[in-house]
Structure 1
């Protein structure tokens, strides 16, 4: 692994499971939104472990659908760990089905384009396969995925 997990909260054993990374451009057409929701529900029902930054609005929505299940979830932050967690995260943490990881020290407080790129690279390294909700042509995500040698599935 080129990048390393500097800090974590939750069940590190989840890293040993097969993982699907979910990546999506920030700007996404309405036609792709429902397809991403359907994908999230299918992953939840199949019990698949999904790893994502869950940072953009569509990623937060996908996280919402995944949280309703019992499958494992890995959140990868583009900043250091927060001092206080959102209450919605406590139950899945207690159940051992949530892991929050970051390649950054606590001193990194803000998400930037650079920290998001590092986070995305870490997720791609850790994941067994990658699912893309939508990628903007010529965008950062499209550029990053050009270098990836793993299976990439685009939601259509």
Structure 2
């Protein structure tokens, strides 16, 4: 695994947050409320922050001071410049299982990234899993750790 930022965050209790790309409106509302509660509680949240809901959850979490782990489905070559100050503060870790030469996520890389996050997390929170999708399949394999919003 490749990483940039505070690797000590991997030793914390972590909650993985995932949501399918297609989701009902109610899932978004619940996810945003959940993100605000995690920010207030100081929970370390790990996610790919790839789907629209996941991206908005990241925006809400970055407003706080709690630890955050971002798992990429590509190499660590192209990071958001805003993340630098959070890494400097020691509250952000960006991880990837892919070399820098891997420049674009694809479905299989996203699946492997999600599996890595689930393996690292103590709890898995799902805002929405599309029926028959890869996220639903991953959840069924790790049902003991899954919480549905």
TM-score interval, normalised by the smaller of the two chains: over 0.9
Residue 75 of structure 1 aligns with which residue?
Answer: 70
Contact 1:14–1:72 (Cα < 8 Å) also in 2: yes
Structure 1 counterpart of 2:41, from 46, 55, 58: 46
- Alignment match of 2:82 (pick from 76, 81, 88): 88
Q: Which runs of 5+ in 1 are unaligned?
A: none
Runs of 4+ displaced beyond 6 Å: none
Alignment: residue pair count: 149
Distance across 1 between alignment mates of 2:135 and 2:22:
11
Per-residue CA distance 1:72-94 (angstroms, 9 max, x = gap): 00000001112x43221111111
Structure 2: state its 5+ residue gaps. none
**Corresponding residue SS for 1:74:** strand
Aligned: 1:147 with 2:147 = no
Partner of 1:16: 11
- 8 Å contact 1:80–1:107 — kept in the other structure? yes
- Change beyond 3 A, Cα 1:134–1:149: closer
